[in-house]
């Protein structure tokens, strides 16, 4: 055996890892499976953004697609059912997990406060060492500006522009 | 780094593409220097080790890379109207991205260069030169969508996690502990490696397959959000019409003609596009006067890419399994 070849005892783990990456069946079609990707996904009574909310699903929840109507899907997780804009679902199970923010963030961390957070201490230190004080000021300005772009502001923009689920 | 560890990192990287790991467990694993010193005995241990940079590491790296990008491209344009437009269009795209609840930030670089960049932790930057060339929201959405695809695809983080040199950084992260001296050593190491990462992101860019994938993902995202599916392609076509000059157009991206060709050939898979519900819009460029494309001249930048950098990029984007061991 090549001295750099992994020992045989590792192969089962490798095969498991490979199996885990196998593509899922095509989703976002009737009969397929999709996954919620927002911290909270509303199930609506009708395929329209302003329809009544009939249920809520947490992030990463698999749902079965019963019907497709344009960009809207009627889905069910077994206990709750309703319409969801396709853009709010993922064809594959979200894989980023807790390590990368999206699925592991608490609700409070998704607010504009999170977007407007101060520069990380490590970056502050880096800016000082690399004489990037002007860039640091600019970045702090950007982070502060982001305070205005709350999820509600984005939602208003979507409505006004007739984008996303408001199309 | 030993071939054994590279192999384990690869195996773990594959595993983590489908599974999420407990962050508390990861932190514990990262803080256990002895484990690393003794070597990793199982693939499971390796999986814990490289299941992804944690939020703090991604945040620090994102901030640091953003600092370098801002520093190298003339600082930020502090124009509130442009900021608003960028962050609302970007925020709309983010809503339907793979990281809908992550705080994204979009900035305008004060440079005539025609390019766009992304950094970990949700930073997207577009140069003034490129911003002024786009004629409507559809084109801007296509460009932003492309850069966002690099973030949701974790393209930069993959370089760090799987790149041979990047794995040195990963090793440092793994050895990090609460000890102040070690933390300082870690910061220094991050500093050194950040330069390399930034040099790669800013001067060289990703491989062509990675860029083509980002084009496709960005196009889909724009279409799902309700922007014209052809926005990115239209922007690229517009850039193609720029008279030859000293400026560099998307110098860190594949040739425009190839990107345009592939975008037109790719079927749209976005739901809105399938449903024929995408809409066009023309919001113009508020807050900034539109410069002619011919005015766009790239500032001289430290763009030398030596063999060492190329090897770094190739190693980073190539699957470790294909490496010779």
pLDDT digits (tens, 9 = 90+) for A107-130: 444 444 555 678 888 889 889 989
Average confidence (pLDDT) over B6-17: 33
Which residues are CB-contacts of B34 (< 8 A; sequence separation ≥ 6)? none
Q: What is the CA radius of gyration of chain B?
A: 20
Q: Is the pLDDT of residue A89 over 80?
A: yes
Which candidate from A10, A101, A162 shows the least CB-CB separation from B102?
A101
Q: Band of the pLDDT at B139, cuts 50, 70, 90?
A: very high
Query: Smallest CA–CA separation between A80 and chain B, in Å?
Result: 22
Question: pLDDT tens digits, residue range B244-272?
Answer: 655 566 767 788 888 998 887 555 554 44
Q: How many CA atoms lie within 13 A of B17 on its CB side?
A: 21
The pLDDT value given to residue B25: 25
Contact between B119 and B265 under an 8 Å Cβ cutoff? The reply is: no
B 213-272 near A (Cβ less than 8 A): 224-227, 271-272
* Chain B nearest-CA residue for A95: B18
Mean pLDDT on B120-137:
95
Checking if the pLDDT of A4 tops 50, the result is no
> What whole-number distance in Å separates Cα of residue B312 and Cα of residue B325?
16
Strands A89-90 and A33-36: antiparallel
Using the beta-carbon criterion (under 8 Å), do B154 and A96 form an inter-chain contact? Answer: yes
pLDDT class of A7 with cuts at 50, 70, 90: low
Q: What is the pTM of this model?
A: 0.71
Do A20 and B18 lie within an 8 Å CB cutoff?
A: yes
Of all residues in chain A, the one with the smallest CA distance to B185 is A122
CA B272, CA B227: separation in Å to the nearest integer?
Answer: 9
The pair of structure tokens assigned to B154 is 């974790």
What span, in angstroms and rounded, lies between the C-alpha atoms of B325 and B315?
13
Judge residue B313's burial from the number of C-beta atoms within 10 Å of its C-beta, 0-12 exposed, 13-18 middle, 19 or more buried.
buried
* Cβ-Cβ contacts under 8 Å for B81 (sequence gap 6 or more): B286, B287, B288
Among B18, B59, B101, B125, the strongest candidate for a mutation testing the A interface, having the largest count of A CBs within 10 A, is: B101
CA contacts within 13 A on the Cβ side of B26: 23
Residues of A within 8 A of B194 (CB-CB) are: 126
More confident: A74 or B50: A74
CB-based contact, A148 to chain B, within 8 Å: yes
Chain A residues within an 8 Å CB radius of B42: 10, 13
Q: What angle do helix axes B208-225 and B137-152 make, rounded to 10 degrees?
A: 120
Q: How confident is the model at residue B205 (pLDDT cuts 50, 70, 90)?
A: confident
For range B235-249, the mean pLDDT: 76
Query: Which chain A residue has the Cα nearest residue B67?
Result: A135
Of B21, B58, B187, the CB nearest to A101: B58
Question: What pLDDT sits at residue B48?
Answer: 35
Scanning the structure block, which residue is given the tokens 């319409």?
A83
Is the confidence at residue A79, as pLDDT, over 80? Answer: yes
SS3 content of chain B, % helix, strand, coil (to 5): 60, 5, 35
So what's the pLDDT on residue B154?
A: 83
Nearest to B17 among A95, A105, A115 (CB): A95
Q: Give yes or no for a contact between B119 and B178, defined as CB atoms under 8 angstroms apart.
A: no
Task: Give percent of chain A above pLDDT 70.
Answer: 71
pLDDT band at A41 (very low <50, low <70, confident <90, very high): very high
Question: Alpha-carbon distance B18 to A17, whole Å?
Answer: 9
Rg (CA), chain A: 22
């Amino acid at each position: 055996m090549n001295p750099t070849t992994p020992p045989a005892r590792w192969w089962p783990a490798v095969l498991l890892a490979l199996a885990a990456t196998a593509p899922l069946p095509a989703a976002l079609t009737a009969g397929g499976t999709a996954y919620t990707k927002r911290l909270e996904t509303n199930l609506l009574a009708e395929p329209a953004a302003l329809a009544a909310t009939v249920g809520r699903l947490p992030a990463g929840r698999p749902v079965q697609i019963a019907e497709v109507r344009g960009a809207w899907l009627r889905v069910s997780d077994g206990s709750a059912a309703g319409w969801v804009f396709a853009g709010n679902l993922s064809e594959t199970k979200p894989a980023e997990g807790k390590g990368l923010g999206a699925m592991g963030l608490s609700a409070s961390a998704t607010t504009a406060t999170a977007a407007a957070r101060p520069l990380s201490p490590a970056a502050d230190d880096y800016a000082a060492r690399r004489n990037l004080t002007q860039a640091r000021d600019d970045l702090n300005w950007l982070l502060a500006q982001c305070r205005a772009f709350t999820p509600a502001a984005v939602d208003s923009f979507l409505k006004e522009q007739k984008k996303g689920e408001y199309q | 780094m030993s071939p054994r560890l590279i192999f384990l990192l690869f195996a773990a990287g594959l595993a983590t593409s489908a599974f999420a790991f407990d962050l508390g467990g990861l932190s514990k694993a990262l803080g256990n220097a002895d484990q690393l010193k003794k070597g990793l005995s199982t693939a499971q241990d390796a999986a814990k080790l490289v299941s992804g940079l944690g939020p703090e590491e991604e945040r620090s790296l994102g901030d640091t890379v953003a600092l370098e990008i801002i520093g190298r491209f003339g600082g930020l344009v502090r124009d509130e109207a442009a900021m608003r437009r960028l962050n609302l269009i970007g925020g709309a795209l983010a809503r339907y991205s793979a990281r809908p609840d992550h705080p994204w930030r979009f900035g305008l670089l004060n440079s005539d260069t025609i390019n766009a960049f992304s950094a970990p932790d949700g930073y997207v930057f577009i140069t003034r030169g490129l911003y002024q060339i786009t004629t409507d929201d559809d084109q801007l959405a296509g460009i932003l969508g492309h850069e966002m695809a690099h973030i949701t695809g974790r393209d930069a983080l993959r370089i760090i996690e799987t790149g041979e040199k990047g794995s040195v950084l990963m090793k440092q992260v793994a050895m990090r502990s609460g000890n102040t001296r070690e933390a300082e050593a870690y910061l220094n190491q991050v500093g050194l490696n950040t330069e390399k990462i930034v040099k790669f992101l800013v001067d060289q860019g990703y491989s062509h397959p990675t860029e083509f994938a980002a084009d496709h993902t960005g196009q889909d995202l724009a279409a799902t959000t309700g922007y014209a599916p052809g926005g990115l392609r239209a922007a690229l076509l517009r850039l193609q019409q720029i008279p030859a000059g000293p400026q560099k157009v998307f110098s860190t991206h594949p040739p425009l003609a190839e990107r345009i060709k592939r975008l037109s050939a790719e079927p749209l898979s976005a739901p809105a596009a399938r449903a024929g519900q995408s809409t066009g819009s023309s919001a113009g460029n508020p807050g900034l006067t539109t410069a002619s494309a011919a005015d766009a001249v790239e500032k001289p930048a430290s763009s030398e890419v030596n063999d060492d950098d190329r090897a770094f990029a190739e190693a980073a984007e190539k699957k470790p399994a294909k490496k010779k061991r």
